Structure 1
Amino acid sequence: MPFFQNLSIQSRLLLFVIGPVFALSCILLLFDFKEQLQREEDKLSQHALTTAKFLSAVIHNQTELHSKDYIGRLLKASQLNREPYLSLIISDADNQAIANLGTSFNISETLPQQDTIVMQQNTHDITMVKVFSTESTHRLLGYVFVAIDKGSLIEDHRQAFIKNVGYITLALILCSILVSWVSRSISQPIRDMTSALKRFVIGSQQVSQGKNTLPEIQSLQSTINQISRDMQHVEADMRHRIQDAQAQLRYQARHDALTGLVNRQELERRLQQALQDVKQHRANHVFCYM
């Protein structure tokens, strides 16, 4: 296409190298963002379910459920305080909160009949496990709710994604500067050589080029410099040959080939010149005719 053919080396490098690298980096980063987010959600969901079942299993009676010291030890044992996106609520059989850990979240007044279920509520995924007594009556003691704050999780990952895109952009800007410098180091000598060759075409022999650090450019510049020197030598030799030929033609035109004396045409020219000199400067001349 004419548009791409007219692009400079710098523009082509920026368009065909930096542009695709930036696009590919963003795409890979987006896929990695989604994959990491999914892995984090799966890990938190598994942790929430495990924690809820653990707390449900270790509470054996109503007394334990209402013991603050016991519940405190359970919450500490659950290690949920190490998970910033997990929150916990323990409630009694009437769904009245007894203890909580982490950020608060709302619990629906109407609870499902299942013993274990994962519910979605606004920006939270809530794992609910019912707590039953170990008696033969299998009496309901309360509920354990472990919630995943997906809103905060997604927002933190989004901020990390934006930060990584910023790092990639900064890195590509630095790469663009480096590419521009490299492309100029290549394109500028080529432009100089092109200009020199144009001068050479119109007759100028001063087309010598300076040294470049790139071996390929150095080789091309050396070739052009050698051509320039050779052409200067050829031109100087041609001038000398032309001058010699002109001098020889003038001598042959004014002298007799046999005797080497001036011929009649040269005699008349000299007489005419002498007469002009007499008229203009009143000079004296002697003419001897034999």
Structure 2
Amino acid sequence: MKGWSIKWQVLLLALLPAALIALGLAWYFIQRGLSELDAALHNRGLAIARQLAPAAEYGVFSGNREILRRLAEAAAAEADVKWVAITDVNGEILAASGEHVALPAVADMQGLNVAVAATREALDFSAPIVVTQLAVEDEWYQAPPARRVIGRVTVELDRAPTLRAKEAVLQNGLIITAIGLFLAALVALRMSHRVTRPVLRLAQAVRQMGEGRLDLRVPEDSGGELQLLEAGVNRMAASLQASHENLQQRIADATLRLSYQAAHDTLTGLINRREFEVRLERALAGARHQGQIHTLCYLDLDQFKVVNDTCGHVAGDELLRQLSALLQARLRESDTLARLGGDEFGVLLENCDLATAEPVAESLRRTVKDYRFLWQDRSFGVGVSIGMVEINRDSGSLASLLSAADAACYAAKDRGRNRVHVYQEQDGEVQRRRGEMHWATRISQAMEENRFRLFRQPIVSADPSKGLAPHHEILLRMLSDEGELVLPMAFIPAAERYNLMPAIDRWVLSKVFSLFRECFGSEGDGPVCTVNLSGHSLCDESFLAFVHRQFELNQIPHRRICFEITETAAITNLREAVHFIEAMKARGCTFSLDDFGSGLSSFNYLKNLPVDYIKIDGAFVRDMDVDPMDYAMVEAIHRIGRVMGLATIAESVESETILERLRVIGVDYVQGEWLAAPVPLTDITGGRGFAV
């Protein structure tokens, strides 16, 4: 029954009791009918035999066979009687009637009881004939008390009618039973249908709901508990439908949001770089196949970092949002303004040639220039550098188009910022930018092929009698494809422009730490190594953790490492620089401010930078022996350092005269090729390592 449907289970439960009862009753009544037929035949034979025996007493006693014959014939005329025989006590037949058969054997001929013998075809009854009275001289006298058997009466009854009656009883019983079972099955089926139809309807409804048809409802017409179940299923379906519709709506809303977020910048609401490139591809296809002309503008904000570093990222984000709204208001509905990343924006002017686009770009530039950003009672002015390139039938790939616009934008920056620069194929500024892009590819390949090399240059005490600790500045070189050494100034600008400096700084730091550990272990001996860091690394939130991890892995004493940061990088990333310096000085590292005096800062910034050394820009040192102004600048920087308790380092010392003048001023350290040229920094097994 485990695999049966509920319909057949209910039908079986309804039919089985009725079938068992019907079969039991049929068996009872058939057995009773058959028993009654056998009993009736038996009683009939006994009655005939018992009636015939007394009647035959006189005939047997007197020897009157005629009387006996008439008695036998009269008895044989009874229904079901096959044969009647009257015998004397010795078994001799005195009279007989009917179909002659052999007399049944009687064990006790003198017995007073009726003997009964049965065969399949007949029942034989043998009753004794007993003398009950005597006739003497025509008078009857009672027999003496002792009864005497003088003969026997044998009656044979035919069992065929009884057997036929039994068969009829059995057949009728079976027919009645079959009819009863059939009627019981009809009733059970009706009951089963009445019970299972709602259940099956509910099961089908639940299955269809599971397939997604949550709008389906079942009739609530079954009554009783089934009606409660139907109502519950309908309520469940309604609840599921409402939840499904709500979920579908939420999914649709989430899909729209994800689609929007995938195509838009979360900060400004403008489309993002990915979507902008999709639209550029579409514009390029239109230009190639339909001859359309469009213009691409690449915008980079000027002085944005001043606001971001001075007032924080919240202020910078608000500035970007406000400028996005201002720029969007200056464009047509068909134009596209996108935030490409950081403070960079892209504008696609569709169906607009360069002649028409230039006034639009100029309008965008003036809008940004005239805008004043207010934040916490402070006012800031910003500008924007814009690079423009036309999109026409001859335009190259998407990458080359963006590269051209990017190069034109930075050409505008290099020409003084806050201006519009139109891309021209033979433009010298653009070609220089393209060269930086080429250098970026070469730098990446050099890193993959391990073609960077480290050099060291000593930083020595200007006055040996002071006994100042020796320093070594770690310098970076790159091997070209031809195996020639490339100086940093050839590739560092491109590395900074394309954000490759953090990876380079990490490589340099790990190599220096590894070599220092091999040469000096963790005992604390050895020179102070000065390692240059870029502004990009200072802005990298994970760089500080990387530096800590390198110290832990190599067990280098913190006091043996000095980090050198350029004045421009420190001021541009003032907050990040101060955080990094304070974190590492707390561990024992020292810091040197490189190229001091060459940037746009004033001495006021020096108060906010907790450095240990000021490295005087070589531009002032190189000619200080012949230029009084340079001499005065070096002297002023040294005096400021003394007041602040900082040691001074003069670079680009190229003659003994310059060295003597620096000693007169009191500069602490000197560095230059006249003193010691940079040499390769190799492991100690190569015969050359750190010279102490």
Asked if these proteins are the same fold (TM beyond 0.5), I'd say: yes
SS in structure 2 at match of 1:66: helix
Please give the per-residue CA displacement for 1:243-277, whole angstroms capped at 9, x wherever unaligned: 89979xx8x958x9x99xx675587682427965x
Are 2:72 and 2:96, in contact at CA under 8 Å, matched by a contact in 1? no
Q: Among residues 87, 110, 114, which one is paired with 2:110 in the alignment?
A: 114
CA gap of 1:57–1:233, structure 2 versus 1, over 3 A, is same
Which residue in 1 is equivalent to 2:66? 66
CA gap of 1:188–1:145, structure 2 versus 1, over 3 A, is same
**Mapped partners of 1:219, 1:43: distance in 2:** 61
Question: RMSD in angstroms over aligned alpha carbons?
Answer: 4.8
Larger radius of gyration: 2
Distance apart, 1:208 and its partner CA:
0.8
Which residue in 1 is equivalent to 2:236? 227
CA gap of 1:207–1:105, structure 2 versus 1, over 3 A, is farther
Are 2:48 and 2:75, in contact at CA under 8 Å, matched by a contact in 1? no
Are 2:83 and 2:96, in contact at CA under 8 Å, matched by a contact in 1? no
What amino acid maps onto 1:189 in structure 2?
P
**Mapped partners of 2:81, 2:196: distance in 1:** 59
Q: How does 1:137-176 map to 2 (within 5 A)?
A: 143-176=152-185
SS in structure 2 at match of 1:5: coil
Distance apart, 1:155 and its partner CA:
4.3
Please give the per-residue CA displacement for 1:123-162, whole angstroms capped at 9, x wherever unaligned: 3221112435643799987643333434542442233123
Distance apart, 1:30 and its partner CA:
3.5
SS in structure 2 at match of 1:22: helix
Which residue in 1 is equivalent to 2:45? 48
Q: TM-score, normalised by structure 1?
A: 0.64
Q: Among residues 118, 125, 128, which one is paired with 1:127 in the alignment?
A: 125
Please give the per-residue CA displacement for 1:44-103, whole angstroms capped at 9, x wherever unaligned: 434422332222223453387624997499659xxx84xx55556253644254445xxx
Deviating more after overlay: 266-275 vs 105-114: 266-275
**Mapped partners of 1:194, 1:269: distance in 2:** 61
SS in structure 2 at match of 1:7: coil
Q: Among residues 209, 215, 226, which one is paired with 2:224 in the alignment?
A: 215
Which residue in 1 is equivalent to 2:187? 178
Are 2:128 and 2:153, in contact at CA under 8 Å, matched by a contact in 1? yes
Distance apart, 1:218 and its partner CA:
2.2
Q: TM-score, normalised by structure 2?
A: 0.31
What amino acid maps onto 1:22 in structure 2?
A
**Mapped partners of 1:108, 1:26: distance in 2:** 43
Matched, 1:91 2:71: no
Are 2:69 and 2:96, in contact at CA under 8 Å, matched by a contact in 1? no
Share of identical aligned residues, percent? 14
Higher share of residues assigned strand = 2
CA gap of 1:269–1:235, structure 2 versus 1, over 3 A, is farther
What amino acid maps onto 1:51 in structure 2?
I
Q: How does 1:185-204 map to 2 (within 5 A)?
A: 185-201=194-210, 203-204=212-213
CA gap of 1:7–1:114, structure 2 versus 1, over 3 A, is farther
Distance apart, 1:120 and its partner CA:
1.9
CA gap of 1:65–1:130, structure 2 versus 1, over 3 A, is farther
